[in-house]
Chain A
């Protein structure tokens, strides 16, 4: 059982980390409590379905087109819908909720309510200590690790990354130093949507795509961001690992019926016992 927990816990953690890092950047740097974040996950999956299944493009091309398109949609939404509401947190919250519900309805109108199948990026399976693991799941872990490492290098080693950190620490001081915070905000929106879409695409071959698929990932992303601490990438990764493994352990040791309850229980406990999360600032600040 230990091998299964290690393997499936890693896969779940990888997906959650990709989802939550984007949301953490969005809240911590762009200062947007984005309830439409799960929508990017869903749009990514439908994007690759459209590209690979409907337009018969190669899967790699469909992947690239889908993440780019979703990133652009997020940038456009920021300019048209969110920027005019800057400073009004309540209005932004409501606006992002409206956007999430609207996208669900639109996707349902276009693709219908039933799940749409996406082909596997890689076929086959690997036997790890006697446990049969489909290659697609191992691909999720590998891609997530590469993307997160790439993001960390981008933020830590490039000038643009430095500007992102500056805006995160003190937007006004960053502006005085000549950093265009508006552009940084747009970049954050693009990156957050890119990461969420990539997560949605990678899981779509084994989880299918459906219009309502955005809700639980959103709940889990928020749980991770709150547990990890707002604006902390490493906190998000740690929290994603905690959630991914907790769910897997509960599923194996107790009942898979209780899996979805784990995120809610963690959220409840963190808000009451440690609102600042593991490595970040207090919720509500």
Chain B
């Protein structure tokens, strides 16, 4: 058949067409049609940021990653390569997150991955890291299962590192620093008030078990859907339980609404727990002051405080560039990118195996503190000598005060004005 066609059209013409076709294919490859060209990828350090565009954490991660890249590039890049950030939206959905991850690796040809704004997405993504032989620096998720998987099957999951908190470390900080502080003030009856989500599964039981270790008792536990809009019945139940302190565990809940309703009711209990959406210097304005009295656990460059020499410059630069204070995911993402760059410089390579070895040896002073990864879990160590937790409180006039640790403290605990000592 082909032979007949060749005869009909003349073999010379066919060869010319075939040649042109080959040229087109090569040109398309060079131009990057259908994917990033290989030559471009070799001149850059490509970091793929997998995050959730709709979440505040996602937007903060994108801002912070670009800020880190800009600073690295101003210093000449990493090992002579310019740093370029590629972003992909997981839409807070594991299935869509995997599609986005594949696009970053296969089309954008990124060298390393970072980000993650939802634990479910990162847990799903971890199963693809070995297949793609690529490092993932998680900067916005806290499920203990992430570090747990690395510890359980190192060969398969060694590609995963994390600069943000592990919820277990957070749980310890809530118990030993935050709730111990409330007990010290004379409040011993606690109610656990948790949204029902993957990140805090286990945390509720941990709090119930460990609150007595600091001298408190748990008088009520209430779980609610993160989509809940009306908190008044929940607050009424907590009030009826006689709790003096409610311990909220919030990440995906509309925290503005939560605090506005709490304040409007003048609920007869204090709030001291973990409120992730409230980890922002502008939370006071967002709630129109309804956050008054809230005690929260924070870390990193959320508050303009000299945690390290880099904290205040980062806070100021971020606020100047993005017209707002950094969110919790900003400093962990910024530090995450810087740690990746630092590891590549020490390894003198972008190859995954060399990067993993270098990351395991990281001892880097970032904006949040000293980043050192746990050998088993690959989670950054959160402790006073590494990245310290800060116990904070919103006080009159919109002051976001640090109560604990003493070396960073700017105020002492104050009751909400409608509650007596």
Q: Specify whether A and B are partners.
A: yes
Binding site for B on A (CB under 8 A): 1, 4, 8, 11-12, 108, 113-115, 117, 119-120, 125, 131-134, 136-137, 203, 205-208, 210, 213, 216, 248, 251-252, 255-257, 259-260
* B230 and A207 contacting across the interface, CB-CB below 8 Å: yes
Given contacts A4-B240, A113-B54, 7 further A-B contacts (CB under 8 A): A8-B233, A117-B260, A125-B264, A132-B266, A134-B264, A136-B264, A255-B223
Closest A residue to B229 using CB positions: A207
* A206 and B264 contacting across the interface, CB-CB below 8 Å: yes
| Contact mask for chain B residues 206-239; partner A; CB cutoff 8 A; 1 contact, 0 none | 0000000000000000111101111011101101
A residues less than 8 Å from B236 (CB atoms): 4, 8, 131, 252
Does B93 make an interface contact (CB < 8 A)?
no
Q: What's the Cα separation between A107 and B224 when bound, in Å?
A: 27
* B233 and A4 contacting across the interface, CB-CB below 8 Å: yes
Q: Which of B224, B239, B240, B257 has the most CB of A within 10 A?
A: B257
* A257 and B264 contacting across the interface, CB-CB below 8 Å: no
Q: Which of A8, A11, A205, A255 has the most CB of B within 10 A?
A: A255
Q: Given A114-B56, A115-B254, does the pair A257, B260 have CB atoms closer than 8 Å?
A: no
Least distance between B80 CB and chain A CB atoms (Å): 39
Binding site for A on B (CB under 8 A): 54-56, 196, 222-225, 227-230, 232-234, 236-237, 239-240, 254, 256-257, 260-261, 264-268, 286-288
* A12 and B237 contacting across the interface, CB-CB below 8 Å: no
B residues less than 8 Å from A210 (CB atoms): 254
Q: What's the Cα separation between A117 and B227 when bound, in Å?
A: 16
A residues less than 8 Å from B237 (CB atoms): 251-252, 256
Least distance between A213 CB and chain B CB atoms (Å): 7
Q: What's the Cα separation between A4 and B56 when bound, in Å?
A: 35
Q: What's the Cα separation between A260 and B225 when bound, in Å?
A: 9
A–B complex contacts, Cβ < 8 Å, 9 sampled: A8-B236, A119-B288, A125-B265, A132-B265, A133-B265, A134-B261, A205-B260, A248-B233, A251-B233
Closest B residue to A257 using CB positions: B223
A residues less than 8 Å from B239 (CB atoms): 132
Least distance between A282 CB and chain B CB atoms (Å): 32
B residues less than 8 Å from A216 (CB atoms): 227, 229
The number of inter-chain residue pairs (CB within 8 angstroms) is 88
Q: What's the Cα separation between A133 and B265 when bound, in Å?
A: 6
A residues less than 8 Å from B261 (CB atoms): 134, 206
* B266 and A125 contacting across the interface, CB-CB below 8 Å: yes
Least distance between B265 CB and chain A CB atoms (Å): 5
Q: What's the Cα separation between A206 and B256 when bound, in Å?
A: 9
Q: What's the Cα separation between A1 and B239 when bound, in Å?
A: 11
Q: Given A255-B223, A257-B223, does the pair A8, B232 have CB atoms closer than 8 Å?
A: yes
* A208 and B225 contacting across the interface, CB-CB below 8 Å: no
Least distance between A10 CB and chain B CB atoms (Å): 12
* A134 and B265 contacting across the interface, CB-CB below 8 Å: yes
B residues less than 8 Å from A125 (CB atoms): 264-266
A residues less than 8 Å from B56 (CB atoms): 114
Least distance between B343 CB and chain A CB atoms (Å): 33
Q: Given A1-B240, A114-B56, A260-B227, does the pair A252, B257 have CB atoms closer than 8 Å?
A: no
Q: What's the Cα separation between A256 and B236 when bound, in Å?
A: 11
* A257 and B225 contacting across the interface, CB-CB below 8 Å: yes
Q: Given A117-B260, A119-B288, A252-B236, does the pair A208, B254 have CB atoms closer than 8 Å?
A: yes
Least distance between B281 CB and chain A CB atoms (Å): 15
* B260 and A256 contacting across the interface, CB-CB below 8 Å: no
Closest A residue to B196 using CB positions: A257
Q: Given A125-B264, A132-B265, does the pair A206, B257 have CB atoms closer than 8 Å?
A: yes
B residues less than 8 Å from A1 (CB atoms): 240
Q: What's the Cα separation between A136 and B54 when bound, in Å?
A: 30
* B264 and A115 contacting across the interface, CB-CB below 8 Å: no
* B287 and A117 contacting across the interface, CB-CB below 8 Å: yes
Closest B residue to A116 using CB positions: B256
Q: What's the Cα separation between A259 and B233 when bound, in Å?
A: 10
B residues less than 8 Å from A206 (CB atoms): 230, 232, 257, 260-261, 264
Q: What's the Cα separation between A251 and B224 when bound, in Å?
A: 9
* A256 and B228 contacting across the interface, CB-CB below 8 Å: yes
* A259 and B225 contacting across the interface, CB-CB below 8 Å: yes
Q: What's the Cα separation between A255 and B225 when bound, in Å?
A: 10
* B256 and A12 contacting across the interface, CB-CB below 8 Å: no
* A256 and B264 contacting across the interface, CB-CB below 8 Å: no
B residues less than 8 Å from A4 (CB atoms): 233, 236, 240
Least distance between B255 CB and chain A CB atoms (Å): 9
A residues less than 8 Å from B286 (CB atoms): 117
Q: Which residue in A117, A134, A213 is a CB contact (below 8 Å) of B229?
A: A213
* A132 and B267 contacting across the interface, CB-CB below 8 Å: yes
B residues less than 8 Å from A260 (CB atoms): 225, 227
Q: What's the Cα separation between A167 and B56 when bound, in Å?
A: 49
A residues less than 8 Å from B196 (CB atoms): 257
* B225 and A12 contacting across the interface, CB-CB below 8 Å: no
Least distance between B53 CB and chain A CB atoms (Å): 8
